Structure 1
Amino acid sequence: MGRLFLDAGVVSPDWAKAYEDVPRSHFLPELMWPHDMATGRNVAVDKEQDPQVWRRYADSDDPIVTQWDDGAHDGHEPGKLFSSSSSMPSLVFSMLADLDVEPGQRVLEIGAGTGWNAALLAYRLGAANVVTMEVDGTVASEAQQALDRFGLPVEVVHGDGFLGHAKRAPYDRIIATCGLRKVPFAWVEQSSPGGVILVPWGTYYGPSEATARLVVAEDRRSASGPFSRPVAFMRMRSQRFVWPRHDEYVPAGAMDAADTSFTTMAEAEFCGTGSFDVIGFALGLRVPAVAHTADRKRDGRRAVWFYGLSDQSWAVVVFRDDREVAKVYQSGPRRLWDEVEAAYRWWVEQERPGFNRFGLTVDADGEWAWLDSPGNPVLAQ
């Protein structure tokens, strides 16, 4: 597998031997649910029943779900919520390249999962220089067993990684393998001056997120750096998003009482092509404390809803294939669609910046996103 990814330019030469000598298959359970990239579905694969198919998926570049529903799931069929997984090897490789570890450095990983990522780091740095945290007790125990069996006894700490692990600090590198909506300042405090924090980050606006590579200041009072690439990770459990109840925002009769207007923005122009599109990411940076969701398209009609997370404001824009304008309904202290449409116009005026033109800074007062440089915040300070 490592040779294949090396030839494809996915894995850098300095990691090639680790990829060859530390196979993902050693860290996967006998029953797993690969996400088939061709069909978009999770399929149950049992090593005992079909070892060849199991091996094919283990050696593939597919993400593999290893736990459903926080461990409450039982049986072969997929559960409702995937709660632990083994990421696509190409993503693992690219993030480790961004982490840019050097011999002798100490690494804290947030999200042990199967233990494979920690094993790759330990192979390069030594097990004593790596510690990994896992919030799920069962997952943590299984990761520890897999690491011990492989001969790379990294310490697996059962706990909430949001608090970091001060006992083993300071760290030269911190890497999160779960998606965050807020980077804890504790990670900055537990880093060495000039250290790197690599974290998948996004907003509550939607699922779009990207990896931020933050470099810790010499005085350790802040960390800052650009985003690199779009990613999709399970949320840190303490930051999982609970969707607002629609009827609490839009009770019976609310549509009739809402303010109405029209927009000429086209559905395709606004919605983009999916969760890896920068449009949703950029809008989330510009429009804080808002979540949005799009209804399934029916008979040429699609409604896109917006919910304020700091009050009961809501909005909906209704796109129709047979009309050049879309009708907008808004209610509450904020005019959410007006904010979103203005944010889109801003993005266009900035020449439609991609992920790597945006960045993030974290300090004791919080965090803020910026465009091109930390001195140019996306939102006015």
Structure 2
Amino acid sequence: MTTHQPGLERTAVGGLLQAVSQYLGHEVAPEWRGAAEAAPRHRFLPDRVWLSGDDEALTLCERGREPERWFAAAYGDVPVVTQVNDGEEPSDPADAWPSSSASAPSIVFRMLELLDLAPGMRVLEIGAGTGYNAALLSHRLGDANVTTVEIDPAVAELARSGLKANGYSPTLVCGDGSLGWAARAPYDRVVATCAVQRVPYAWVEQTRPGGVILTPWSDDWSHCGLLRLIVGENGTASGRFSAESAFMLMRTQRRDLRLFRDVVMDDHVPVESTTALDPWAVADSPVETQFALGLRLGDLWYAWHHEPDVEGVETRLWLATTDGGSWAAVDWDGTRGAERYTVWQHGPRRVWEEVEAAHRWWLGAGRPGPERFGLTVTADGQWAWLDEPGAGFAARPALQETEQRD
């Protein structure tokens, strides 16, 4: 397949814009339609990508071997993984995990809309990725008004080559996006293409008062959400969440914390109790529950263990603090409609009791969804709130600058 045929490109881009319009609920704005037509998405993808199947496992797709599949992925309204394992080729394909990707076009254009751009605005992008988003911004605002930062040298080179080949030359920096890029500040808009658990204050400092910071959100409990902050005159930023797709976590905010290596030890003697709260009501629950609990609980995470080698236990829910100092396990014995579950807790904090309290709070607040929550960021920290900024209830704990994977 020759993928630089003008007619084929126009048809593919048109189909993609139609899918995006359906997602948005209205036609893509003319300025963004023009940008998409000028920068066809497939031109920014590498020849080797990884695609998700029905089982969510990643499989390699090479343009030279499967051109039709590769091209179809480029114009599907789905994310396309462009790097796995931080660039280290896994010895076993089953061990591949995504470390860089081209975001689904629908969320790309949704975020561009939320930026509310106008001619002459200066934008800082955190996470250049393939360079596609920077190309769209450059087409709209001009190269001189776009700065994009990418932490991975190989990914930065992919973006640089794609942008250059398609006639775009924004400022592209290979560096740590959590630091922003002060050399070209202040910016009217800061947009991240990776999720954060805490908003780097450098982004606030480098955004002019009245400017917007738009970033995907993730926490240790839930992994979706989009946060739009407005920067104030007093050096703070505040704004609301919306429910959107999950993004990869910023690399400098990852942690390497593993259950049976760092948390649960053979010499631990947990305290036994029971609970009436169904573990599935708080973990892998609807997005409204997950999101609220993630903000309220702050530093707790969970993992399922199906069919553990424990007599009388069919499924176990593990919960732990991010420092590994306290943990809990909730056991289900396989009984349909169970009314009680066995709980084991260890450490200075009673982790499951914290989850029960957070769930009661959520129910008492009327089961709020992401749109009722917001975040305020200051030089001293950040606080989540419900409905109004004055009703802050939690500050994110400090994170170690290391990697976390299950």
TM-score by length of 1: 0.92
User: 1:287 — aligned with what?
Assistant: 297
1:307 and 2:320 equivalent? yes
- The alpha carbon displacement at 1:248 in A equals 4.5
1:188 and 2:204 equivalent? yes
Equivalent position amino acid for 2:232 in 1 = A
* More deviation, 165-174/313-322: 313-322
- The alpha carbon displacement at 1:94 in A equals 1.1
* More deviation, 157-166/39-48: 39-48
> Kindly tell me: are residues 32 and 282 of structure 1, through their superposed partners in 2, closer, same or farther at Cα, counting changes over 3 Å?
same
The answer (yes or no) to whether the contact 1:313–1:332 under 8 Å persists in 2 is yes
Q: In structure 2, what is the Cα distance between the partners aligned to 1:248 and 1:30?
A: 38
- Matched ranges for 1:331-350 at <5 A: 331-350=346-365
Say which of 247, 251, 259 aligns to 2:265: 251
- The alpha carbon displacement at 1:251 in A equals 2.2
Equivalent position amino acid for 2:275 in 1 = T
Partner deviation per Cα, 1:83-117 (whole Å, 9 max, x = no partner): 11111111111111111111110000000000001
- The alpha carbon displacement at 1:308 in A equals 2.0
User: 1:27 — aligned with what?
Assistant: 44
Say which of 217, 221, 231 aligns to 2:245: 231
**SS of corresponding position for 1:338:** helix
Say which of 321, 324, 328 aligns to 2:334: 321
- The alpha carbon displacement at 1:286 in A equals 1.3
Q: In structure 2, what is the Cα distance between the partners aligned to 1:244 and 1:347?
A: 29
- The alpha carbon displacement at 1:376 in A equals 0.8
Equivalent position amino acid for 1:264 in 2 = A
Say which of 168, 181, 195 aligns to 2:184: 168
The answer (yes or no) to whether the contact 2:57–2:94 under 8 Å persists in 1 is no
Partner deviation per Cα, 1:222-250 (whole Å, 9 max, x = no partner): 00100012321111111112124435533
Q: In structure 1, what is the Cα distance between the partners aligned to 2:390 and 2:61?
A: 50
Q: In structure 2, what is the Cα distance between the partners aligned to 1:285 and 1:71?
A: 32
Equivalent position amino acid for 2:315 in 1 = R
Unaligned runs of 5+ in 1: none
- The alpha carbon displacement at 1:20 in A equals 2.5
- The alpha carbon displacement at 1:380 in A equals 8.7
> Kindly tell me: are residues 111 and 337 of structure 1, through their superposed partners in 2, closer, same or farther at Cα, counting changes over 3 Å?
same
Equivalent position amino acid for 1:235 in 2 = L
User: 1:131 — aligned with what?
Assistant: 147
Partner deviation per Cα, 1:344-380 (whole Å, 9 max, x = no partner): 1100111110111111110100101110111111339
Equivalent position amino acid for 2:373 in 1 = F
- The alpha carbon displacement at 1:296 in A equals 2.6
The answer (yes or no) to whether the contact 1:6–1:16 under 8 Å persists in 2 is no
Say which of 381, 387, 391 aligns to 1:366: 381
- Any runs of at least 4 consecutive aligned residues in structure 1 with deviations exceeding 4 A, and if so which? 74-79, 297-300
The answer (yes or no) to whether the contact 1:35–1:62 under 8 Å persists in 2 is no
The answer (yes or no) to whether the contact 1:144–1:154 under 8 Å persists in 2 is no
Equivalent position amino acid for 2:378 in 1 = D
Q: How many residues align?
A: 374
Unaligned runs of 5+ in 2: 1-14, 397-406
The answer (yes or no) to whether the contact 1:6–1:13 under 8 Å persists in 2 is no
Q: In structure 2, what is the Cα distance between the partners aligned to 1:258 and 1:305?
A: 13
Equivalent position amino acid for 1:321 in 2 = G
> Kindly tell me: are residues 251 and 40 of structure 1, through their superposed partners in 2, closer, same or farther at Cα, counting changes over 3 Å?
closer
TM-score by length of 2: 0.86
Equivalent position amino acid for 1:320 in 2 = D
Equivalent position amino acid for 2:278 in 1 = A
- The alpha carbon displacement at 1:81 in A equals 2.5
Say which of 353, 356, 362 aligns to 2:368: 353
- The alpha carbon displacement at 1:118 in A equals 0.6
RMSD of aligned residue pairs (Cα, Å):
2.2
The answer (yes or no) to whether the contact 1:222–1:361 under 8 Å persists in 2 is yes
- The alpha carbon displacement at 1:300 in A equals 7.4
User: 1:97 — aligned with what?
Assistant: 113
